[in-house]
């Protein structure tokens, strides 16, 4: 035995057991800190009609472009969806309690994040635990845009539309100066008519009166 005498009070068997427990505990600790479970935060709830696609736990919560927390938990399915926001304690004092919220995306296809909108009339109280915020809106999903676009294209044959637009473009090409003149002329006419609109209205009224008289 390399340990020497008088030091084998604990049997090696127990040391292996202790070591195993330590390793399991360390693995658990690593897993928990990987998920940031030990970080202090202020829980705030955000209610929204829907959370939007690609809204995931761990998504950023930003205010004026600065990250102030993260999305901890998303529970949806039923209307309205609710998001648990975990706000950093050191930034919570700078956020008024009546802050607005909005779910936005970084790019058209990018992941969603929660944007806190600084209110026009900030309340003197700052955000505290358990405050419930309401989301103003969720960014339009890019697939909705495409879906609507497809609906339009189904109704209008793109080839025909192209032909019509080309013909129009050909007809209008090089006519800019004349079109401009025509618009200016029309404007002059309309200005002149506007000044006489009173008289025109009077004429119409008399015309209706006359025709009613004739009919009777």
Partner 1 sequence: MNRVAKFRPTGFERKISQWVAGWDRIGSQIQFHVKTLTSIREVFLYYRVELIRLVAQMSMGVGALAMIGGTVAVIAILTLSTGALIAAQGFSQLGQIGVEALTGFASAYFNVRILAPLTAEFALAATIGAGATAQLGAMRINEEIDALEVIGVRAIAYLASARVLAGLVVVVPFYCVAVVMTFFAARFGTTVVYGQSSGVYDHYFHTFLSRTDLIWSFAQVSIASVVIMVIHTYYGFTASGGPAGVGEAVGRATRASVLAAVLVTVAITLAVYGQSGNFHLAG
Q: Which residues bind partner 1 (CB under 8 A)?
A: 1-4, 7-8, 10-19, 26-27, 29-31, 33-36, 58, 67, 106-107, 110
Least Å from the CB of residue 129 to partner 1: 23
In terms of CB distance, is 4 or 130 closer to partner 1? Answer: 4
Other CB atoms within a 10 A radius of the CB of residue 53 amount to: 15
In terms of CB distance, is 39 or 178 closer to partner 1? Answer: 39
Asked whether the beta carbons of 55 and 73 are under 8 A apart, the reply is no
Least Å from the CB of residue 111 to partner 1: 11
Q: Which of 109, 105, 123 is nearest to 62 (CA)?
A: 105
Please state, in angstroms and rounded to a whole number, the distance separating the CA atoms of residues 118 and 65: 11
In terms of CB distance, is 59 or 131 closer to partner 1? Answer: 59
Least Å from the CB of residue 63 to partner 1: 13
CA angle (95 as vertex; 32, 135 as ends), nearest 5: 80
Please state, in angstroms and rounded to a whole number, the distance separating the CA atoms of residues 77 and 51: 10
How much is the CA Rg of the chain, to the nearest whole Å? 35
Least Å from the CB of residue 17 to partner 1: 8
In terms of CB distance, is 16 or 129 closer to partner 1? Answer: 16
């Amino acid at each position: 035995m390399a340990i020497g005498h008088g030091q084998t009070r604990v049997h090696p068997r127990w040391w292996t057991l202790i070591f195993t427990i330590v390793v399991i505990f360390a693995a658990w600790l690593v897993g928990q800190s990987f998920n940031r479970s030990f970080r202090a935060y202020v829980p705030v709830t955000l209610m929204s009609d829907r959370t939007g696609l690609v809204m995931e736990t761990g998504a950023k919560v930003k205010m004026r472009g600065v990250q102030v927390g993260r999305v901890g938990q998303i529970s949806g399915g039923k209307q309205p969806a609710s998001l648990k926001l975990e706000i950093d304690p050191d930034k919570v004092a700078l956020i008024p309690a009546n802050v607005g919220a909005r779910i936005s995306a970084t790019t058209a296809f990018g992941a969603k994040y929660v944007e806190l909108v600084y209110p026009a009339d900030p309340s003197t109280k700052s955000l505290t635990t358990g405050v419930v915020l309401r989301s103003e809106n969720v960014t339009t999903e890019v697939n909705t845009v495409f879906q609507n676009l497809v609906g339009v294209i189904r109704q209008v044959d793109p080839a025909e539309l192209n032909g019509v637009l080309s013909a129009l473009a050909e007809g209008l090409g090089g006519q800019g100066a004349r079109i401009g003149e025509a618009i200016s002329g029309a404007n002059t006419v309309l200005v002149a008519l506007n000044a006489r609109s009173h008289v025109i209205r009077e004429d119409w009224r008399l015309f209706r009166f006359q025709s009613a008289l004739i009919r009777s």
